[in-house]
């Protein structure tokens, strides 16, 4: 048996293992919402107590669902712009490139140096794909994006919540000014969801602090940074293309489970930047 990869990350970066495991679990199902053999491969290779995450299967499934929604939006962009550039902000151990690659897209995976060091043990750069180690708060990575052909699609999954609101506002402004006409898919966490996750979710294992609380995604429009909200959904009212992948009983049951106070406190959102 080959030696497993030891994970030594900061508390925030450790949360990248939760969605990784969620995708692997979903892949093992006869009819999962997504198929991610690379996630299964990484779970088997990483020296980490993933079994400890099994205590909350709903959270793992929610991670897979949000990934599937973002995959759908990225895929729709690539149908219109097959040779455009996608930038994964806070890539962690995501395998979106492997799931949506059309053979011509240009891609940048961006994350902090320690996270990227782990990522490089499982992924390689190519003529169309770059692995960039930098903070999203720096400007250097924007220069790397500019070297690739437009149009541009930026996607961030469960990352911006760890920034302060002013940092997120500045980020959206910088991207819009540098790449007008681009798209930005990101998720927002309302106050009740942040409180819920802090008290009960598997993320508490990593003891992280969520900073950017956004109860209404339209607030981003009101920042006057050139962002227009094109689409927004919660995990109980999924886009049709994602919902139809679920068995009927599972789909109905998940919708009912999401009818409580947290239902609209977590949103997936697609913005146009100008």
Nearest-angstrom CA–CA distance, 145 and 138: 13
What is the signed CA dihedral for 31, 32, 33, 35, rounded to 10 degrees? -110
Residues in the chain: 274
**pLDDT(263) > 70:** no
pLDDT tens by residue, 76-130: 999 999 999 999 999 999 999 999 999 999 999 999 998 898 899 999 999 999 9
Nearest-angstrom CA–CA distance, 50 and 52: 5
Model confidence band, residue 204 (pLDDT cutoffs 50, 70, 90): low
Q: What separation in angstroms does the CA of 34 have from each of 40, 99, 243?
A: 12, 9, 11
**46 vs 106 pLDDT, higher one:** 106
Residues whose CB falls within 8 Å of the CB of residue 29, separated by 6 or more in sequence, listed in order: none
Q: In this predicted structure, what is the pLDDT of residue 6?
A: 66
Nearest-angstrom CA–CA distance, 185 and 68: 13
Nearest-angstrom CA–CA distance, 245 and 45: 28
Residues whose CB falls within 8 Å of the CB of residue 106, separated by 6 or more in sequence, listed in order: 83, 84, 85, 86, 128, 129, 148, 149
**pLDDT(194) > 50:** yes
Sign of the four-CA dihedral 37, 46, 155, 250: positive
Whether cis (ω within 30° of 0) applies to the bond prior to 151 is yes
How many independent structural domains does the chain possess?
A: 1
**39 vs 207 pLDDT, higher one:** 39
Residues whose CB falls within 8 Å of the CB of residue 205, separated by 6 or more in sequence, listed in order: 14, 52, 53
Closest by Cα among 8, 10, 11, 13 to 158: 13
Residue 184 sits in which domain range? 5-273
Q: Is 241 exposed, middle or buried (0-12, 13-18, 19+ CB in 10 A)?
A: middle
Q: In this predicted structure, what is the pLDDT of residue 64?
A: 94
CB distance 184 to 172 below 8 Å: yes
Structure tokens, 55: 């205590």
pLDDT tens by residue, 148-192: 999 999 999 999 999 999 999 999 999 999 999 999 999 999 999
- Is the pTM higher than 0.75? yes
Q: In this predicted structure, what is the pLDDT of residue 256?
A: 46
pLDDT tens by residue, 234-257: 988 889 999 888 877 666 655 544
Nearest-angstrom CA–CA distance, 152 and 107: 10
Nearest-angstrom CA–CA distance, 178 and 146: 8
Nearest-angstrom CA–CA distance, 64 and 18: 10
Nearest-angstrom CA–CA distance, 250 and 232: 22
CATH of the domain at 102: 3.40.50.150
**63 vs 13 pLDDT, higher one:** 63
pLDDT tens by residue, 48-69: 889 989 988 888 999 999 999 9
Q: In this predicted structure, what is the pLDDT of residue 252?
A: 60
What's the average model confidence in pLDDT over 2-7?
Answer: 67
**pLDDT(202) > 50:** no
Sign of the four-CA dihedral 240, 243, 249, 255: negative
């Amino acid at each position: 048996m080959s030696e497993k990869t030891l994970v030594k990350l900061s508390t925030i970066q450790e949360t990248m293992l939760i969605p990784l495991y969620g995708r692997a679990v979903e892949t093992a199902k006869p009819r999962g919402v997504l198929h991610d053999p690379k996630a299964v491969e990484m779970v088997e290779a990483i020296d980490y107590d993933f079994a400890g995450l099994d205590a909350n299967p709903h959270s793992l499934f929610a991670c897979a669902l949000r990934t599937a929604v973002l995959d759908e939006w990225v895929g729709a962009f690539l149908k219109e712009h097959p040779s455009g550039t996608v930038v994964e902000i806070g890539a962690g151990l995501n395998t979106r490139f492997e799931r949506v690659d059309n053979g011509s897209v240009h891609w940048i995976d961006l994350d902090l140096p320690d996270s990227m060091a782990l990522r490089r043990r499982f992924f390689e750069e190519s003529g169309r794909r770059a692995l960039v180690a930098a903070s999203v708060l720096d400007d250097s990575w924007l220069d790397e994006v500019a070297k690739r052909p437009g149009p541009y699609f930026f996607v961030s999954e469960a990352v911006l919540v760890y920034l302060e609101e002013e940092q997120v506002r500045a980020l959206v402004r910088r991207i819009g000014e540098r790449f007008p006409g681009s798209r930005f898919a990101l998720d927002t966490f309302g106050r009740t969801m942040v409180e819920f996750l802090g008290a009960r979710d598997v993320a508490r294992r990593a003891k992280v602090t969520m900073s950017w609380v956004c109860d209404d995604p339209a607030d981003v429009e009101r920042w006057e940074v050139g962002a227009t909200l094109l689409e927004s959904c919660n995990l109980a009212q999924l886009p049709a293309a994602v919902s139809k992948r679920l068995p009927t009983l599972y789909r109905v049951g998940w919708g009912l489970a999401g009818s409580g106070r947290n239902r609209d406190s977590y949103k997936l959102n697609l913005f146009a930047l100008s």
